[in-house]
Structures are given as C-alpha cells and as structure tokens.
Amino acid sequence: MRLLVLGGTGFVGGATVTEAVRRGWSVTVFNRGLHGTVPPGVHRLRGDRGAPDGLAALAGGEWDLLVDIWDGAPRAAGDAARALVDAVGHYVYVSSGSVYADPAAAGLDEDSPVVDADPDSVDGDYPQLKSGAERAVREVFGQRALVARAGLILGPGEDIGRLPWWLRRVERGGDVLAPGPADLPVQYIDVRDLAGWMLDAGAERVGGTFNAIGRRAQTTMGELLGACVAVTGADARLCWTDPASILAAGVQPWSDLPIWLPVGHPYRGLLERDVTRVFAAGLTCRPVVETVEDTWRWLREVGTVPPRAGRPDRGSIGLAPAREAAVLSG
C-alpha cells in the first residue's frame, strides 16, 4: 500500500505512520517540516497547505490511501481534497466527536445532528472547523471518504498530557484527589488502535462516518487510576471524592482533572457515544492496563510531554498541588 499522511509527526499522525511502516507500506508524509521526525524510510514532502500553491510538492504523486488529521480551516481541507481527488484512491479524515450539536446526550450515533459549518470557511471554533472539514472532504470524495470521529485518545506519544499528568501525579505519591465515582465509565481509544483501524478500513475502501472510539465502558476512572498506581509503583493513595464537593471547590472537569467528566456535565454524552457501527467495521481495542503501561514507559523515555504540532500552546492541564490539598482537606 502507498500511504500519504497529511501531517504525520504529531500524536495521531505519528502513530499512523509508525503502524504503516510496521506493515511494510510505502509511506509519504506532507507537512511544513517544522515539527517532529519521521521513521527511517518515510518520504517527507514539505509544504504549507494554508499558503498559496502550498500543495505543489504533492503534484504528480499517486497513493492508494490518504490519512488527514487537519484541524484548521475547512477550505484548506477542501483544497487538498480537490487537488488529490485523481491521485488518491481513498481518503480518511480524522474528525472528532466535538462536531455533535449540543446537547451532547448519551447514545449519540453517526446520524445525530452536528454543528452547522461552512465547508469553505477559513475560521471558526474547533467543532466548526472539524464539521466543516468533514463536509469539504465528503463533497469531493463522496463514498471514497471515511470520516473517523475520534474522541478521548490516549496512549504513547500523547501531546495533550491528560494521561501523562495522572501518571506524574500518582508518581509523586501521597493522597491523590480521585474524582468519583470510581465506577464512572470512561470511553476512549488507544491511539494505536485508532491508527490500525483507520489503515485497515481505508485499505478495504470503507466509506462513511464512524464514531471511532472504544465502548462506553471501555474502562472506569477506578481502573484507569488504579493502573497508574500499579505501573508507577508509587506510594499513592487514591482518595475517592464526591463530584459535588469537587465542583463546589471550583475544580474544572477535563482540564483541572483530566479525562474526568462527571454525570450531568454538559459534554458527558461525548464519552457515552454509540459505537455499533465502528465495531461492526472491525475496530478492536486493547485493555486499559496496556495503554497505561506503554504510556508510562514512553513518558519515562521522553521525560516530558512534547509540544503539539501546529498548536504548541496546549493550555493548562492538571490541578496545582495547593488546590488539590485544599479540596482534600475540605
């Protein structure tokens, strides 16, 4: 298989390239050449898809499959699709569950309403950018396009820092503010499972839209944090705390306490999506312990979470020690 990845050095793109190389595929990446590295044998083309004539380096190429992780202007996604429509057999666009319109109720499936977005737009918020780009790609490739609406993505290489924050926090030991309840389901996908499924489905010319994420009860907060304690070997005690107490203290789910979205949160439904279609299309997911173990191994190797490709300012992740202590003592 001849694979073209638009991007290819960030979290999802890097995992996709690594898996394709493992399979023995011929891999080309296209990006600005400003971030990250690629494995030996990968052909790197440079260009800025947001600039005039920025796709020139792709002229004359032919690929069986393209994977695009773009989260910028929908117009740029459409420009790339039009430029490559005769050069690429199948187009996989990595989208997000964020495209679903509010309210994010449990059980969202691929036919649930999405935010209104213009495929020719050059700006917008993240949901609008992803929704508009979905439309732009579909308008050009039709059923030759696979749209993978991912969600919470974890695993080695994570450049946001959610699971790495929990691992480092547990490593410090002591009393750890654990947001309850312990049996709260966490719906996520390991980046390697996402990459593998997209390559499998793309190679089989599967078209359409899929909630590309694990099952609703893929794991729980208790299993996830318990795995963090086990793999770090830290002297840490998980102090399970009622969500009401945490919220009353002004602690923000998802940002102050990564991964956690309590029942009743406006976006809770994004971690309770219907995945019937994607599992019927062959998605398989590894156990959470493997994801945590491999992320811990990688984090110790690299030392710190890398900057995000194209968005180096990822914002604040995790609760400061003083605020955590105040909640625990309250």
Residues 118 and 162 in one domain: no
Q: What CATH number has the domain bearing residue 15?
A: 3.40.50.720
Which one is predicted more confidently, 290 or 313? 290
Residues 237 and 305 in one domain: yes
Question: How many CB atoms sit inside 10 A of residue 188's CB?
Answer: 26
50-64 tens-digit pLDDT: 899 999 999 999 999
- Band (pLDDT 50/70/90 cuts) for residue 206 is very high
- Cis status, amide bond into 266, omega within 30 of 0: no
Residues 33 and 148 in one domain: yes
Q: Which domain holds residue 242?
A: 158-186+217-278+287-329
pLDDT at 312: 53
Q: What is the mean pLDDT of the chain?
A: 96
Residues 74 and 196 in one domain: yes
226-270 tens-digit pLDDT: 999 999 999 999 999 999 999 999 999 999 999 999 999 999 999
Q: What CATH number has the domain bearing residue 307?
A: 3.90.25
Q: Residues of the chain with pLDDT > 70: what percent?
A: 98
146-204 tens-digit pLDDT: 999 999 999 999 999 999 999 999 999 999 999 999 999 999 999 999 999 999 999 99
pLDDT at 315: 64
Claim: this prediction has a pTM higher than 0.95 = yes
Tally of domains within the chain: 2
Which residue, among 97, 188, 207, has the nearest Cα to 141 in the 3D structure? 207
